[in-house]
């Protein structure tokens, strides 16, 4: 899963002390003046922060980290001051609904609100930089002294079927995170204080309240969405566990119905696509191998990005600017440490669009690149909006747009761009293989996507103490995911920190929502394109009508509550899980038939 939450900005200026606003204004006009002034200040500092963060992530050194810390500190201080001022101005009587919403956007403009005092803010920012650095520079060294970075370890886990090697890699990466634990606990204390200063119970309440509803209402909706898709996940988990049982046997597989986390082909067991060969038993193979096609065509990273850009231009959208090709990072440098975690940037909030990732020649990376460019096109679409409207309708929209575009990477699309000579025959074998390939990533991800924040909500609320961090993490994974730790974990471990978004303090609810919304967006684009046929076979490639409808949603940014933006695009003002269920309906029927005589479910 991927970081794409970089705040864009207008133009670079010198950093300076934030101006303060005196007594709370008594008129709508005065409040509007504050909103405009706050947007201008934030825009000016954001570009400095974006540039410093870009340099730090591409050239990780002590000095570049210090530069990033300084600019992030200035932006955090400003954001905290303006958020607290917005909190006060919300008490002004008679404000219009739009002005009140704009004040709420200012109150939610920072991901991690800082306390009011400067020393605590400085400490909070410095802890954030330390946590990111620990993660990004982490390495696993085996007994022979051979060291591997995370990217290399991920590749080995994707391809190995040796349970002992997989366990060594899985445990090895989790040696990186224990030093984060004390830092993380302190960060929680400081961020909670910042959230309380803004009128929220804790940081979790603050995060949930960013969705145009109360924090409690959002938590209830998340659980409701999960319950609606849970039967599909349970069918998949049962089949996957049975196939793994055949391969690894009782010596490796527990008898409680769970799946050991190290066997699922992914460092965090969040996506299972890398064990497709095991799941399908080698009998039902996908109708084509995109990785093999890329190798046969000798396509490099730049070719893959050009391919993705072509999808967007086929919808009638403008090509990416030349600076995108000059300033992006497409491959891992050999001479320095970089943050390879894929991300999309708009450094100046106009058209300085970039991606940063270490692209590898695989079919999965093709989808990731399409996804990242989805962020770039979204960023450019709303670049004419006022500062506080520059962003997706809610955080899940930004992720969902890129994923919806990636759903159009179908056989028909590959034929149209010349990577396949003809579409594979439509047979049950091809259909199930294609859907299984997708479900192992999209469906398997859902409970992991949910519990990432569910765990943090418990941490932020004080329900969990530091001593309970790791045990509670694995309890949630067992309960929701049916996945267990392959070995007993000491309570001193900090396994949540082995996932980027925990040390980086990036809320994960957006990814859970995106995995549902993307199918809703995909269905709407297919309807706009006039596609007739099963949803899983559709590609909106080449449809300018679909492109116009999509761009209208993207251009709105977050000017309106996300429910209204969603309704304007799809006709529904709520997340509609039926689109995902429709997409995977043939696979669900097949899985239920396969599971007929199996003992499904797990002990939580």
Report pLDDT for 227. Answer: 98
Report pLDDT for 426. Answer: 83
Report pLDDT for 2. Answer: 39
Percent of the chain exceeding pLDDT 90 equals 78
Average confidence (pLDDT) over 452-481: 97
Cα of first residue to Cα of last residue in the chain, in angstroms, is 25
Distances (CA, A) of 44 to 18, 40, 107: 11, 6, 18
Of these residues, 154, 309, 372, 527, which one is catalytic?
Answer: 372
Nearest CA to 536 out of 557, 551, 522 is that of 522
Average confidence (pLDDT) over 554-567: 96
Q: What are phi and psi of 354, to 5 degrees?
A: -150, 155
Average confidence (pLDDT) over 270-298: 87
Report pLDDT for 404. Answer: 95
Residue 282 has pLDDT above 90, yes or no: no
Report pLDDT for 408. Answer: 93
Average confidence (pLDDT) over 380-388: 95
Q: Where are the beta strands (DSSP E) in 422-553?
A: 483-484
Average confidence (pLDDT) over 555-576: 97
**What's the mean per-residue pLDDT of the chain?**
91
Whether the model clears a pTM of 0.75, i.e. scores above it, the answer is: yes
Q: Which of 135-139, 436-440, 492-496 has the least mean pLDDT?
A: 135-139
Report pLDDT for 457. Answer: 98
pLDDT tens for each residue of 414-444: 999 999 999 888 888 889 998 999 999 999 9
Rg of the chain over all Cα atoms, to the nearest angstrom: 24
- At which residue do the structure tokens 């950093």 appear? 15
pLDDT tens for each residue of 501-525: 999 999 999 999 999 999 999 999 9
Q: How far is Cα 82 from Cα 37, in angstroms, rounded to an integer?
A: 10
Report pLDDT for 281. Answer: 81
Q: What are the sequence ranges of the domains in the chain?
A: 133-181+217-287+440-498, 290-328+359-434+509-583
Report pLDDT for 4. Answer: 34
Q: Are residues 435 and 536 in contact, defined by beta-carbon separation less than 8 angstroms?
A: yes
Q: Which of 20-29, 157-166, 337-346, 416-425 has the least mean pLDDT?
A: 20-29
Q: How far is Cα 82 from Cα 248, in angstroms, rounded to an integer?
A: 56
Residue 14 has pLDDT above 80, yes or no: no
Instruction: Mark whether 341 is an active-site residue.
Output: no
Report pLDDT for 20. Answer: 42
Nearest CA to 581 out of 515, 530, 527 is that of 515
Nearest CA to 149 out of 327, 358, 369, 345 is that of 358
Residue 301 has pLDDT above 80, yes or no: yes
Q: How far is Cα 482 from Cα 447, in angstroms, rounded to an integer?
A: 9
Report pLDDT for 73. Answer: 85
Q: Are residues 34 and 374 in contact, defined by beta-carbon separation less than 8 angstroms?
A: no
Contacting residues for 436 by C-beta, under 8 A, at least 6 apart: 276, 279, 280, 284, 587
* Helix (H/G/I), strand (E/B), else coil: 346: strand
Q: How far is Cα 7 from Cα 9, in angstroms, rounded to an integer?
A: 7
Residue 473 has pLDDT above 80, yes or no: yes
Q: How far is Cα 417 from Cα 408, in angstroms, rounded to an integer?
A: 12
* Helix (H/G/I), strand (E/B), else coil: 486: coil
DSSP states of 531-545: --S-GGG---TT-HH
Instruction: Mark whether 463 is an active-site residue.
Output: no
DSSP states of 81-95: HHHHHHHHHTTSTT-
Of these residues, 108, 262, 501, 515, which one is catalytic?
Answer: 501
Task: For residue 565, give the DSSP letter.
Answer: H
Residue 6 has pLDDT above 80, yes or no: no
Distances (CA, A) of 544 to 325, 379, 447, 481: 25, 19, 35, 40
Residue 487 has pLDDT above 50, yes or no: yes
- Element (DSSP H or E) covering residue 325: helix 322-327
Average confidence (pLDDT) over 76-85: 90
Residue 12 has pLDDT above 70, yes or no: no
Q: pLDDT band at residue 338, thresholds of 50, 70 and 90?
A: confident
SS (H, E, C) 298-333: CCCHHHHHHHHHHHHHHCCCCCCCHHHHHHCECCCC
Report pLDDT for 223. Answer: 98
Residue 17 has pLDDT above 60, yes or no: no
Report pLDDT for 430. Answer: 87
Q: pLDDT band at residue 283, thresholds of 50, 70 and 90?
A: low
pLDDT tens for each residue of 110-128: 889 989 888 998 899 899 9
Q: pLDDT band at residue 11, thresholds of 50, 70 and 90?
A: very low
- The tokens describing 141, both together, are 């060294």
Residue 555 has pLDDT above 80, yes or no: yes
Q: How far is Cα 381 from Cα 305, in angstroms, rounded to an integer?
A: 19
Report pLDDT for 26. Answer: 65
Q: What are phi and psi of 346, to 5 degrees?
A: -130, 95
Q: pLDDT band at residue 145, thresholds of 50, 70 and 90?
A: confident
Q: Where are the beta strands (DSSP E) in 337-382?
A: 343-346, 353-356
User: Where does 22-162 have alpha helices with state H?
Assistant: 28-58, 62-89, 97-107, 118-136, 150-159
Q: What are phi and psi of 148, to 5 degrees?
A: -135, 140
- Helices and strands per DSSP (H, E), number in the chain: 23, 6
């Amino acid at each position: 899963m991927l970081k794409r939450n970089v705040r864009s900005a207008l133009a670079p200026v010198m950093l300076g002390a934030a101006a303060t606003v005196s007594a709370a204004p008594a008129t709508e006009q005065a409040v509007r003046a504050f909103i405009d002034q706050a947007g201008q200040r934030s825009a000016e500092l954001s570009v400095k922060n974006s540039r410093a963060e870009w340099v730090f992530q591409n050239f990780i050194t002590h000095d570049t980290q210090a530069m990033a810390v300084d600019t992030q500190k200035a932006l955090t201080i400003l954001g905290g001051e303006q958020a607290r001022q917005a909190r006060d101005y919300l008490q002004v009587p008679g404000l219009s609904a739009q002005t009140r919403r704009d004040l709420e956007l200012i109150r939610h403009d920072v991901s991690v609100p800082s306390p009011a005092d400067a020393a605590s803010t400085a400490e909070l920012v410095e802890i954030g930089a330390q946590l990111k650095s620990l993660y990004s520079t982490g390495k696993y060294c085996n007994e022979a002294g051979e060291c591997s970075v995370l990217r290399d370890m991920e590749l080995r886990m994707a391809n190995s079927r040796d349970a002992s090697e997989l366990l060594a890699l899985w445990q090895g990466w989790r040696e990186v995170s224990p030093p984060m634990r004390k830092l993380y606990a302190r960060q929680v204390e400081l961020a909670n204080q910042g959230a309380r200063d803004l009128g929220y119970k804790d940081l979790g309440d603050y995060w949930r309240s960013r969705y145009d509803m109360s924090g409690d209402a959002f938590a209830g909706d998340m659980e409701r969405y999960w319950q609606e898709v849970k039967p599909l996940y349970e069918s998949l988990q049962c089949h996957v566990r049975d196939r793994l049982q055949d391969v690894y046997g009782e010596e490796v597989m527990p008898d409680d119905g769970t799946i050991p986390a190290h066997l699922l082909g992914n460092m965090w067991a969040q996506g299972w696509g890398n064990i497709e060969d095991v799941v399908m038993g080698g009998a039902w193979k996908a109708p084509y191998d995109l990785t093999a096609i890329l190798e046969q065509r000798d396509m490099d990273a730049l070719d893959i990005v050009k391919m993705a850009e072509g999808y967007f231009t086929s919808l009638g959208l403008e090509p990416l600017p030349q600076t995108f090709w000059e300033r992006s990072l497409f491959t891992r440098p050999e001479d320095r440490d970089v943050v390879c975690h894929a991300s999309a940037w708009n450094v100046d909030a106009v058209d300085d669009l970039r991606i940063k990732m270490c692209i590898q020649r695989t079919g999965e990376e093709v989808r990731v690149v399409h996804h990242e460019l989805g962020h770039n096109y979204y960023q450019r679409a709303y670049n004419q909006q006022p500062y506080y409207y520059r962003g997706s309708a809610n955080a899940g929209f930004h992720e969902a747009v890129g994923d919806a575009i990636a759903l159009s990477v179908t056989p028909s699309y590959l034929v149209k761009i010349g990577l396949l000579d003809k579409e594979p025959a439509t047979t049950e074998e091809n259909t199930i293989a294609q859907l299984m390939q997708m479900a192992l990533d999209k469906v398997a991800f859902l409970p992991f996507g949910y519990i990432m924040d569910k765990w943090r909500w418990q941490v932020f609320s004080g329900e969990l103490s530091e001593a309970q961090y790791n045990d509670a993490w694995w309890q949630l994974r067992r309960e929701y995911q049916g996945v267990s730790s392959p070995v007993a974990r000491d309570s001193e471990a900090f396994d949540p920190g082995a996932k980027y978004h925990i040390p980086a303090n990036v809320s994960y609810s957006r990814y859970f929502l995106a995995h549902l919304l993307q199918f809703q967006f995909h269905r709407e684009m297919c309807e706009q394109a006039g596609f007739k046929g099963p949803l899983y076979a559709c590609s909106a490639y080449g449809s300018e009508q679909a492109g116009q409808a999509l761009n209208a949603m993207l251009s709105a940014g977050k000017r309106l509550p996300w429910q209204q933006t969603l309704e304007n695009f799809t006709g529904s003002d709520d997340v509609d899980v039926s689109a995902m269920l429709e997409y995977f309906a043939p696979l669900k029927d097949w899985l239920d038939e396969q599971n007929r005589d199996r003992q499904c479910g797990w002990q939580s």
